[in-house]
Amino acid sequence: MLLTAAFLFPMIAGPISALFPCKTDNGRNMRFAGVMILTDILCVLTALFSEPFELLSITDKVSFGFSPDNFGRLYLIMVIILYTAVCFYAFEYMKMEERPAMFFGFYFVSLGALIALSMSANLVTLYFCFELATLSSVPLVLHEMTKEAVSAGLKYLFYSIAGALMGLLAVFFVYYYSGSDTSFIPGGFLDRALISGNEGIILTMVFIGILGFGTKAGMYPMHGWLPTAHPIAPAPASALLSGIIAKAGVVAIVRLVYYSAGTEFLRGTWVQYAWMSLCMLTILMGSTCAFNEKVMKKRLAYSTVSQISYILLGLSLMSEDGLRAGVLHLMSHAVSKGCLFLVAGIFIYKLGKRNVSELKGVGKQMPLTMWCFMLSSLSLVGIPPMGGFTSKWALSNAAIGDGMGIMSILPPVVLLISALLTAGYLFPIAIDAFFPGRDFDTSGLKKKEPSLLMTVPLIILCLLALAAGLFGTRIVTLI
C-alpha cells in the first residue's frame, strides 16, 4: 500500500492544508513544504520498494491497478524534481497573486494524479489518471480569474477533453482486440489471431490515440492550447505545464505504442510515417512561431510545442535507440524548460517585464538569474555538455541508423534547422541582457536578484540539465 499512499497523500493533505487558514504566509508555506517533502519521501520509497497490486477489477480485461516499472519510475523522479523545485519557488512568487492557498490545493491534487499515472499498470488506469491530471491542472491556468485567464483555461480544458476522448477510443479498440491480460507488456498485448483481417481498423484507432494523447504534448494539429495557456497562467503553473504535465501525453503514447499495441505491429505502416511527418512539422512550426513571438512566456510556449515533438519524433522511430533518445530529451527538456519559465516569472515578479524587448540590461540587475537562463538555453539549443546536446545527438543517430530511406535523412535535417531557430529566439535575449549596447544607460540599474527561494531552484535545475548531458545516456541505458 506504499504506492497508494504516495499518490493519495498529496491529494488529501494538500487541499486540507489549503482549506485551513493560517495567520502568516510563512506558516502556510511551512505546511505546504511539509506536504511536499513527505510526498518526496513516499515517492522515493515507492520507486525502491513498492510492488504491483490491483485496486479494483471490473471485468476480466478491465481493472484499476498499479505496477511500477523502470520507465514509470523515471517519469516519477522527473515529476517530484519539478514539483519540489516549483513548490519552493512558488512560496515567493505567489505573494503577488491572490488565493495562493487555492493554487497550492490544486497543485497537490495534480501532483498526486501524475504520481498515480506514472505507476499505472494498464491503459484504463492510465486514462483515469490522465483525465484527473487535466482536471486538476485547469484551475492552475485560470488562477487569476480574469477574462483572459478563464478563456485560456477553458481552451486548455476543451482541447484536453477532445484529445482524451480520442485516446479513449483507441483504448476501446486495443482492449477489444487484446488477450485476457491487458497489463502493460513491452511489445504489446494485442491478440494476433483477433487482429488478423482487422489490421486497418486497429492502425486507424492507434493513430487516433496518438493524436489524442499528443494533444497534451502539443503535437500539431492539437497544439493550440499551449501558446494560449502559458502566457496567462502564473509562472509556477507554466513551468509545470511545460516541464512535466504536458509530458503526461508522452507517457500515454509510450504506453499505447510500446506497451499495448506493440511496435512490431506498427513499424513500417502508414501510422509510423504519418506520425513522424507530424512530429517534424510540429518541430519546425513551433520553432518558427517562437522565433517571431515577442512575448517572453508565449515564445517559451511555442518552444515547448517544438521541443516536446523532439521526444515524440524519437518515439515514432519505434526502435530501442529511438525510445532511448526520446527519454533522454524528456529528461533534459523537463529541467531546462522548467528553469526558463521560472526565470520568466522572476522578470514578471521583480521587474514587471513580460516582453522580450524589455529585457535589455537585465543581466546587469540579475546576473545569477540570467546565467541560469543562458545555461538552460544552451541545453535547449543542444550545446555540449548540456543535456539537450546528448539527446539530440542520440535522436539523430537513431534516425540515421533506422534504414527508412528519406525518413532517415529528414529528422537530422529538421533537428538542425530547429536548433538554429532555437538559438535565434533564445541567445539574443541573453546577449541583450548582458551587453545592451553603448546607447543603453546602465547607470541607474540596481541589483534586483530574487530571494533564495527563487534562485536555488534555478541553480538546481541547471545542474540537473548539465547532469543529463554528462550522465543521461548511462541512466537511460541502465533503465
Q: What is the pLDDT of residues 294-314, one digit of tens each?
A: 999 999 999 999 999 999 999
Q: Is residue 380 classed exposed, middle or buried when 0-12, 13-18 and 19+ CB atoms within 10 A define those classes?
A: buried
218 phi-psi bin (left φ>0, alpha ψ -120 to 50, beta other): left
What is the per-residue pLDDT for 86?
Answer: 96
Q: How far apart are CA 204 and CA 209, in angstroms?
A: 9
Could you tell me which residues come within 8 angstroms of residue 370 by beta carbon, excluding any fewer than 6 positions away? 343, 362, 363, 430, 433, 434
What is the per-residue pLDDT for 403?
Answer: 76
What is the per-residue pLDDT for 346?
Answer: 94
Q: Is 425 within 8 Å of 295 (Cβ atoms)?
A: no
Q: pLDDT, tens digit, for every residue of 37-56?
A: 999 999 999 988 888 888 88
What is the per-residue pLDDT for 163?
Answer: 93
Length of the chain in terms of residues written: 479
Q: How far apart are CA 90 and CA 84, in angstroms?
A: 10
Average pLDDT over residues 403-407: 82
Q: How far apart are CA 276 and CA 123, in angstroms?
A: 23
Q: How far apart are CA 222 and CA 311, in angstroms?
A: 16
Output the pTM of the full model: 0.94
Q: pLDDT, tens digit, for every residue of 447-477?
A: 788 889 999 999 999 999 999 988 888 888 8
Average pLDDT over residues 145-165: 90
Q: Is 412 within 8 Å of 400 (Cβ atoms)?
A: yes
User: C-alpha cell of 389?
Assistant: 546536446
What is the per-residue pLDDT for 368?
Answer: 94
Beta-ladder partners of 56: 64
Q: Is 160 within 8 Å of 222 (Cβ atoms)?
A: no
Q: Is 265 within 8 Å of 188 (Cβ atoms)?
A: yes
Beta-ladder partners of 54: 65
pLDDT at residue 339 greater than cutoff 80: yes
pLDDT at residue 271 greater than cutoff 90: yes
**For 142-262, where are the alpha helices, taking DSSP H only?**
147-176, 192-195, 199-216, 225-232, 235-240, 247-256
Distances (CA, A) of 399 to 72, 321, 403, 413, 471: 25, 9, 8, 11, 22
What is the per-residue pLDDT for 444?
Answer: 66
Q: How far apart are CA 209 and CA 221, in angstroms?
A: 14
**By C-alpha distance, which of 252, 276, 282 is closest to 398?**
276
What is the per-residue pLDDT for 443?
Answer: 64
Q: Is 246 within 8 Å of 226 (Cβ atoms)?
A: yes
Q: Is 118 within 8 Å of 251 (Cβ atoms)?
A: yes
Average pLDDT over residues 357-386: 92
Q: pLDDT, tens digit, for every residue of 99-128?
A: 888 999 999 999 999 999 999 999 999 999
Neighbours of 56 (CB within 10 A): 10
**By C-alpha distance, which of 90, 86, 76 is closest to 46?**
76
Neighbours of 213 (CB within 10 A): 32
**For 20-59, where are the alpha helices, taking DSSP H only?**
25-49
What is the per-residue pLDDT for 144?
Answer: 83
Q: How far apart are CA 91 and CA 106, in angstroms?
A: 15
Q: How far apart are CA 386 and CA 229, in angstroms?
A: 28
Sign of CA dihedral 262, 224, 280, 463: negative
In the predicted model, what is the mean pLDDT of the chain? 90
User: C-alpha cell of 195?
Assistant: 487482429
Average pLDDT over residues 435-445: 74
Average pLDDT over residues 423-429: 93
Q: pLDDT, tens digit, for every residue of 78-94?
A: 999 999 999 999 999 99
User: C-alpha cell of 71?
Assistant: 520507465
User: C-alpha cell of 90?
Assistant: 512558488
